[in-house]
């Protein structure tokens, strides 16, 4: 076991016998199997394999709270996994980011300087970079986290059957629009409410025409054009009215649930935005097929956004 901060250790399963001698009062275990209990030591177990697809991001805040509580009480805490190289290193790196206001690179470099064999897998690296992008706090309402959750769904449910309900945003027809800041998007043809502004998953602008060179641009002058093509679609989280269409199907059209006019398309494998950015998974609504409606503070009334 290696000391990282005063009252914080990281290590592998082999260090179990030295816990009490080091003053450890709390053990955070991240492993496929939960270790046997140790008398006098509080434990928190995160069931996880050392695989890039394993979800650690969702547990980072609770793990940080567990470690901070132990250290605040005057005792020491230890984070352990089987080898003490990847999973435990990822959690300690996240803890340093959150408590010491460090970037991912700074926190990871700190751990590697202390523990030469530290090497988390690339999936954990990506998750910690997302954690940094969220301000070292898991914000389940953020576009970053929603996109991450959708990617995990495709890994956990490859047949896309019995998807968890938390994946779907609430159908705006079943709730009361009362917030001035919320924009409602309606079908341009029949005016049926489709989604809210909080469901839009923004993405970084792509490289424009050059991104489509492999399939439809043959004029070199077009490829040298530095102008960027604006996004002509909204990429959103799936909404409850989409569920019957999405289950068990990798891709298809998105139709208005009321008038069946075409709104866009979806693909769990991903689709390319008009700006050139590839979005995975993709639930794409063409901007030309919907209208923005600004909600009034009185429930049930909306007005066109100007």
Residues annotated as catalytic are: 81
For residue 16, which of 85, 78, 89, 95 has the smallest C-alpha distance? 78
d(CA 83, CA 90): 13
Strands 42-47 and 24-31: parallel
Rg of the chain over all Cα atoms, to the nearest angstrom: 24
Q: What are phi and psi of 86, to 5 degrees?
A: -115, -65
Spell out the alpha helix ranges (H) of the chain. 60-72, 87-100, 104-114, 122-133, 143-156, 220-223, 243-246
Rounded Cα distance, 143 and 215, in Å: 30
Whole-Å CA distances, 27 to 3, 6, 41, 97: 14, 15, 7, 20
Q: Quote the Cα angle for 57-148-203, to 5°.
A: 130
- Helix 122-133 × helix 87-100 angle, to 10°: 20
Angle value at C-alpha 48, between 44 and 52, nearest 5 degrees:
140
What does the block give as tokens for 129? 């970079």
Distance CA 253, CA 292 (A): 21
């Amino acid at each position: 076991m290696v000391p990282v901060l005063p009252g914080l250790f990281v290590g592998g399963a082999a260090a179990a016998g030295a816990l009490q001698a080091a003053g450890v009062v709390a053990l955070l275990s991240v492993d496929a199997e939960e270790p046997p209990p140790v008398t006098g030591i509080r434990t928190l177990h995160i069931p996880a394999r050392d695989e890039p697809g394993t979800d650690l991001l969702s547990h980072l805040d609770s793990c940080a709270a567990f470690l901070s509580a132990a250290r605040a009480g005057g005792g020491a805490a230890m984070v352990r996994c089987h080898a003490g190289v990847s999973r435990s290193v990822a959690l300690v790196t996240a803890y340093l980011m959150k408590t010491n206001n460090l970037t991912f690179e700074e926190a990871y470099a700190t751990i590697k300087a202390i523990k030469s064999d530290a090497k988390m897998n690339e999936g954990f690296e990506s998750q910690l970079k997302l954690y940094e992008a969220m301000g070292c706090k898991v914000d389940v309402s953020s576009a970053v986290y929603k996109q991450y959750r959708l990617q995990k769904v495709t890994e956990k449910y490859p047949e896309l059957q019995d998807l968890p309900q938390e994946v779907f945003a609430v159908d705006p027809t079943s709730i009361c629009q009362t917030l001035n800041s919320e924009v409602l998007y309606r079908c341009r043809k029949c005016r049926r409410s489709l989604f809210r502004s909080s469901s839009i998953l923004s993405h970084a602008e792509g490289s424009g025409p050059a991104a489509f060179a492999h399939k439809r641009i043959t004029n070199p002058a077009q490829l040298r054009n530095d102008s960027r093509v604006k996004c002509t679609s909204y990429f959103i989280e799936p909404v409850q009215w989409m569920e019957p269409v999405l289950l068990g199907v990798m891709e298809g059209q998105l139709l208005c649930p009321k008038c069946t006019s075409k709104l866009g398309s979806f693909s769990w494998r991903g689709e390319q935005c008009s700006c050139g950015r590839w979005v995975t998974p993709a639930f794409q609504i063409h901007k030309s097929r919907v209208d923005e409606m600004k909600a009034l503070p009185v429930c049930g009334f909306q007005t066109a956004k100007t």
